[in-house]
Amino acid sequence: MKVKNIVKILVILEIILLIGSSIVFADIEDEEEIVNIEEIENQVVETASNATDEPKLDARIGLIFDRSSKRILYEKNGLKQVPMASTTKIMTSIVILENANLSDVVTVDKKAAGTGGSRLGLSTNDKITVHDLLYGLMLRSGNDAAVALAIHVGGSVEGFAEMMNQKAREMGWNNSHFVTPHGLDEKEHYTTAYELACMADYALEIPKFKEIVGTKSYYITINGQSRLIYNTHELLGNLNGVYGVKTGFTNGAGRCLVTACKRGDLDIITVVLGADTKTIRTKDSIKLIEYAYQNYEIIDLEKIVKEEFEKWQQLNEKRIYINKGKNNEMTTKIEELSYQKIAIKNTQKDNITININCLYYFEAPVEQDRVIGKVEVKVGDEIIDTLDIKNDEEIQKKEVLDYFMEFLTMMP
């Protein structure tokens, strides 16, 4: 009986260990799969039947985001709410960088040290700075680092999640909701590819964040001892122009990759979510990047609009009539564009139209900055921006004395 009981106990323990290991594996970034970036890049170029054809992705979600105009250049299910695994840590970094002192020393508590999945390798009572925890968060993708940072800044994981959600609401990212700082699968933890790209774009405007995600390897210090960690982003340093941002993997989210890339003036962010393998997420990311650089270029939209409006002013300002105005000539101006430069398809470069509509009759007085017309900026059939035309200077109404002086000037 005793032997049978021992066997039963051993079997049960083995099952528990197997279940436990599978749960952990489900949340560990899949770094065992080696990918050959050069080989994949060559395959993408060779198999592209036509450079202008939209990319055919194997991942469930993909998106290209233009950082100049904050517009989507391409998307596949890019507005769908989905889990995002460790790409969550982009938002975690934003909240930390905006609310913490990088030189603060954090004493790692039991909860952080016990966090599973992808780990930096922290133990209870370890001492490490916020600065080095951020490197451990974004390079090694440490879930333990995420929890340590969350507790340090938010008081608890729940408190920090509320800070994340508050920031999302502040920025208008209304299709995102956060439960954890690391992105392990939770039912109410989700975003969209578009809003994830917006988060990355916002974060990359923070110099320290851009520095961290652009680092291939870094020596962190734990308890006074140095340790070298490496960036998990497979395209960083291996594909022309790539300068970040973040990898991710859970069973619920699949393999995920957010990538920032800049070649010439064209600065983009690509997002791939829900890939079944690391090779697929890498290949799809390269497909998106190469498609963008083969088909889009940056144009100075502000210059084009300004030149067209100046032509309109020369022909039309003198046509504007102000009845009973002390000054019968109006000077006009337009408001600034939402963005100076924009990425457009090569085939659309000659398909930019500027439509200007304005009133030509006014009764004095006319206040300064009164809206008197609109400028519509279009690329093809898409309205890119609509700008107000305004009166540049106040025009007062004539008084009796003004009419009298005018009469005198007309006398022979």
Burial class (CB in 10 A: 0-12, 13-18, 19+), 275: buried
pLDDT of residue 248: 96
Residue 30 pLDDT more than 80?
no
The two three-digit tokens of residue 335, written as one number: 């408001």
Task: State the average pLDDT for the chain.
Answer: 88
Range ranked top by mean pLDDT from 2-6, 9-13, 189-193, 357-361: 189-193
What dihedral angle (degrees, nearest 10) is formed by the CA atoms of 96, 98, 101, 103?
Answer: 70
Q: How many Cβ atoms are within 10 Å of 165's Cβ, its own excluded?
A: 17
Residue 27 pLDDT more than 90?
no
CA distance 371 to 139: 51
Beta strands in 231-265 (DSSP E): 242-250, 254-263
Mean pLDDT of 259-272: 97
- Domain contains 238: yes
- Domain contains 407: no
pLDDT of residue 21: 34
* Residue at which a domain ends, from 281, 296, 311: 296
Return the CATH number at 359. Answer: 2.60.410.10
The two three-digit tokens of residue 267, written as one number: 């600065």
Of the pLDDT bands very low, low, confident and very high (cuts 50, 70, 90), residue 4 is low
pLDDT of residue 403: 55
The least confident of 15-19, 94-98, 241-245 is 15-19
Residue 35 pLDDT more than 70?
no
Q: Are residues 341 and 268 both part of a single domain?
A: no
Of the pLDDT bands very low, low, confident and very high (cuts 50, 70, 90), residue 339 is confident
Q: How many Cβ atoms are within 10 Å of 380's Cβ, its own excluded?
A: 13
CA distance 71 to 81: 18
Q: How much of the chain exceeds pLDDT 90, in percent?
A: 73
Tens-digit pLDDT profile for residues 68-77: 999 999 999 9
Residue 31 pLDDT more than 60?
no
Query: What is the residue range of 346's domain?
Result: 320-401
What dihedral angle (degrees, nearest 10) is formed by the CA atoms of 272, 299, 335, 357?
Answer: -110
Residue 59 pLDDT more than 90?
yes
Q: Taking a C-beta distance cutoff of 8 angstroms, is the pair 316, 88 a contact?
A: no
- Domain contains 182: yes
In the sheet with 332-334, reading across from the earlier edge strand, the strands are 332-334, 382-391, 371-379, 352-358
pLDDT of residue 325: 82
Q: Are residues 208 and 288 both part of a single domain?
A: yes
pLDDT of residue 74: 96
Of the pLDDT bands very low, low, confident and very high (cuts 50, 70, 90), residue 398 is confident
Tens-digit pLDDT profile for residues 234-253: 999 999 999 999 999 999 99
Tens-digit pLDDT profile for residues 75-84: 999 999 999 9
CA distance 76 to 38: 25
Residue 32 pLDDT more than 60?
no
Q: Are residues 354 and 390 both part of a single domain?
A: yes
Q: Taking a C-beta distance cutoff of 8 angstroms, is the pair 392, 409 a contact?
A: no
pLDDT of residue 152: 96
Of the pLDDT bands very low, low, confident and very high (cuts 50, 70, 90), residue 48 is low
Mean pLDDT of 301-311: 93
Block residue for tokens 């107000």: 388
Q: How many domains does the chain have?
A: 2
Of the pLDDT bands very low, low, confident and very high (cuts 50, 70, 90), residue 408 is low
What pTM was computed for the model? 0.84
Q: Which residues pair with 289 in a beta bridge?
A: none
- Domain contains 315: no
CA distance 15 to 37: 38
Q: Are residues 258 and 381 both part of a single domain?
A: no
CA angle 79, 80, 81 (to 5 degrees): 120
Find the radius of gyration of the CA atoms of the chain: 29
For the chain, the straight-line distance linking the first and the last C-alpha, in angstroms and rounded, comes to: 133
Q: Which residues pair with 191 in a beta bridge?
A: 82
Of the pLDDT bands very low, low, confident and very high (cuts 50, 70, 90), residue 18 is very low
Q: Are residues 328 and 288 both part of a single domain?
A: no
